Amino acid sequence: MKTSREVMVNHDEVRRAFEESHLDALIAVSPENTFYFSGVFVRTQISIRERLALVIVPRQGEETFIVCNIEESLARSQGWLPDVRAYVEYAQSPLELLADVLRERGLAGGRLGFEERFLSAAYYRELQARLPQATLVVADPFFIRIRNIKTPAQIELFTSAFQRTEQAVWNAWTASKPGESEKVVAERMVQEMIKTGADGPRHMTLAVGENTIHPHARPSDRALRSGDLVLTDCGAVFGGYCSDIARMGVVGKPSRAQVDAYKALYDTQRETIAMMKPGVTFSQAFTFCKEAFARRGYVMLNPQIGHNLSLLGGHEDPLLHPFAHEPIRPGMLVCVEPSLEMGPHTRLHFEDLVLITEKDPKILCWWDAKELLVFQ
């Protein structure tokens, strides 16, 4: 499939952002936004924060991609931006090169949108010092809005990432047996992710029994025993497009209480998804879900029940929480993931990928887990 600036960037939203902000340029700094505008996933941006990659997105003209010199070959071979500039790490600050390019482009005294949530205070002060004539404007909301509405090509890549991850979990779980440890099952899941084409895991929660109460439990040596609930919230990386799913299982025959609680979770999640149509706010969806649990006699545990899907698999605003009054919009990809408590030491959790359309929401996952998967 062709991946290029034409099919991967939401140009209508970019134009709208410039019209509303009156900015002369956006400066992308976060891994998500530089990936979005360049087509290059620079992995070291995440692990080495000082090694900035930046994309200058001007109101008029072509973008410029600034990277550390050791990432220059990657930027030129995998990206779609022809104007790539490289700085030598430690010998030159990335913001020095940024300021030079902005002066070259006649933008050094303009209104520049930057990412407040990512750019460190030290780099922000340096940017002010190097561009004293510029007006620096917080542009995070514009970047988020641009990325919120996914292009058809992005939807295809995300759907593939999720469905291959589901397949990996299914394959691993159906091959797992009582008596094996959380670590053994999690290792099998990672192996299956690699087999489906993943670069590797993005995150891995695998918990059984009393460990399910922890939202982000690391796999331990705890063995799977008869009657245990099994929970995973996991994701894999596929070239920067990442998955984020949650599924539930049970070791042996489930109890009536487990069946009832899981049915309440599944039905509530499906009812919540069904009402998530354009114009409904994220806060309204949260309240609907909480009240649906209460009608069924269960307590909802989440401070939020889902999130827009970001590049690299993170949570992207708006989230499904009680204070997010933004309307749900067609073209959004939302992970819907409520949790409920079944007793003081047991949590049930379920997560699907949902595409918001002009009409009814569409679940993009293939594993319609109406019942707990049985480990036997």
Q: Which residues of 228-267 are buried (b: 16+ CB within 10 A; e: fewer)?
A: bbbbbbbbbbbebbbbbbbbbbbbeebeeebeebbebbbe
Beta strand pairing call for 84-87 and 25-28:
unpaired
Which residues have C-beta within 8 Å of that of residue 76, sequence separation ≥ 6?
84
Residues 260-272 have a mean pLDDT of 97
Tokens linked to 5: 């600036």
Asked whether the predicted pLDDT for residue 66 surpasses 60, the reply is: yes
Distance CA 281, CA 291 (A): 16
Mind listing the pLDDT tens digit for each residue in 72-94? Answer: 999 999 999 999 999 999 999 99
First to last CA, the chain: 40
Note the pLDDT of residue 3.
66
Domains of the chain: which residue ranges?
Answer: 5-147, 152-375
Residues 22-40 have a mean pLDDT of 95
DSSP for residue 189: H
CA angle 76, 77, 78 (to 5 degrees): 100
Mind listing the pLDDT tens digit for each residue in 149-180? Answer: 999 999 999 999 999 999 999 999 999 999 99
H or E element at residue 244: none
Mind listing the pLDDT tens digit for each residue in 201-255? Answer: 999 999 999 999 999 999 999 999 999 999 999 999 998 899 999 999 999 999 9
Q: Does 5-147 carry CATH code 3.40.50.140?
A: no
Residue 352 φ/ψ, nearest 5 degrees:
-130, 160
Distance CA 253, CA 130 (A): 66
Q: How confident is residue 314, by pLDDT bands cut at 50, 70 and 90?
A: confident
Note the pLDDT of residue 2.
46
Place of tokens 């991850």: 165
Tokens linked to 12: 């209508």
Count helices and strands in the chain by DSSP H and E runs:
12, 18
Chosen CATH of 152-375 out of 3.40.50.2000, 3.30.200.20, 3.90.1150.10, 3.90.230.10? 3.90.230.10
Note the pLDDT of residue 276.
98
Note the pLDDT of residue 50.
84
- Render 254-277 in DSSP notation, one character per residue: PPHHHHHHHHHHHHHHHHHHHT--
Distance CA 53, CA 45 (A): 7
Name the average pLDDT for the chain: 95
DSSP for residue 180: -
Q: How confident is residue 344, by pLDDT bands cut at 50, 70 and 90?
A: confident
Asked whether the predicted pLDDT for residue 1 surpasses 80, the reply is: no
Secondary structure (3-state) at 54 = strand
HSE, side-chain direction, 13 A CA sphere, residue 340 = 25
Note the pLDDT of residue 47.
84
pTM of this structure? 0.93
